Amino acid sequence: MIDFTPLFRTAVGFDHLAPMLEEASRADVGGYPPYNIELTGEDRYRITLAVAGFSEEELELEVKEHVLRISGKRTEDKEVPEFLYQGIATRAFERRYQLAEHIRIEGAQLKDGLLHINLVREIPEAMKPRKIAIHTEEAHPVIENKAA
């Protein structure tokens, strides 16, 4: 276990990073199910998980507090085949992905044993960079007030 306390002694306003780093240090390093994270365009991403053998009803996606949780649990089959060799894993799984602020899930699609989750970053107008016009001061004539 790594202690991140020294990193936060001089940091102000980064309180949300401590739990995120702690979670990352405890994250499952297993490779099931395998996945890809792609950049599909400017501010567009796709997470693809190989979920062969899982149906749409056996998969669950949930977003809570900037964490995308994907889980799969096989329903009990009434008739279990007798395998001579079983190389396709069908065990239950849970994967978590930490999402940055302003990331929105556009949708998910299950096709050919792959679960595709499309994400987009939507930065609010108030937070987008904007250019500030620079104006030069024009010399205003000074009007002298003379006593009559």
H/E segment holding residue 121: strand 114-121
40, two tokens: 């599909």
Query: Which CATH topology does 31-126 take?
Result: Immunoglobulin-like (2.60.40)
Residues 9 and 84: their CA atoms lie apart, in Å, by 58
Token pair recorded at residue 77: 């089959």
Cα–Cα distance measured from residue 92 to residue 40, given in angstroms and rounded to the nearest whole number: 29
Tens of pLDDT along the chain (148 residues)? 666 666 656 555 656 666 666 666 565 556 889 999 999 999 899 999 999 989 999 999 999 988 999 999 988 766 777 889 988 888 899 999 989 888 999 999 999 999 999 999 988 888 778 888 888 877 666 666 666 5
- At residue 5, the pLDDT reads 66
Domain with CATH 2.60.40.790 in the chain: 31-126
